[in-house]
Amino acid sequence: MIVCAGEIENFDFAKPIGIGLLQTAITLSRICMQEKPKEIVFIGTAGSYGSYKVFDIIESKSASNIELSFLNKDSYTPIKNTINSEHKDFQDETWVNCSNYISTNEVLTRKFLKDNIGIENMEFYAVLKVAEEFNIPVAGIFIVTNFTNANAHKDFLKNHNEAKIRLSKYVKNKAI
Strands (E), 38-151: 40-48, 57-60, 62-64, 82-84, 95-97, 117-120, 138-147
Is-above-0.85 flag for pTM? yes
Mean pLDDT of the chain, nearest integer? 96
pLDDT of residue 89: 93
On the question of pLDDT at 116 being above 90, the answer is yes
Percent of the chain with pLDDT over 90: 95
Among 54, 47, 45, 49, CA closest to 19? 45
Host domain of residue 66: 2-174
Among 124, 100, 99, 120, CA closest to 43? 124
Let me know: does 144 contact 119? Beta carbons within 8 Å: yes
Give me the number of domains the chain comprises. Answer: 1
- Own/partner contacts of 28-36, CB < 8 Å, gap of 24 or more, are 28/3, 28/126, 28/127, 28/130, 28/131, 29/130, 29/133, 29/134, 31/1, 31/3, 32/130, 32/131, 32/133, 32/134, 32/136, 33/134, 35/1, 36/134
Among 157, 175, 152, CA closest to 8? 157
pLDDT of residue 27: 98
On the question of pLDDT at 169 being above 90, the answer is yes
Q: DSSP secondary-structure letter at 61?
A: S
pLDDT of residue 74: 92
On the question of pLDDT at 175 being above 80, the answer is no
**Alpha-carbon span 100 to 110, nearest angstrom:** 19
Read off the pLDDT of residues 61-93 as tens digits, 9 standing for 90 and up: 999 999 999 998 999 999 999 999 988 899 999
Among 175, 115, 120, CA closest to 145? 120
CATH of the domain at 75: 3.40.50.1580
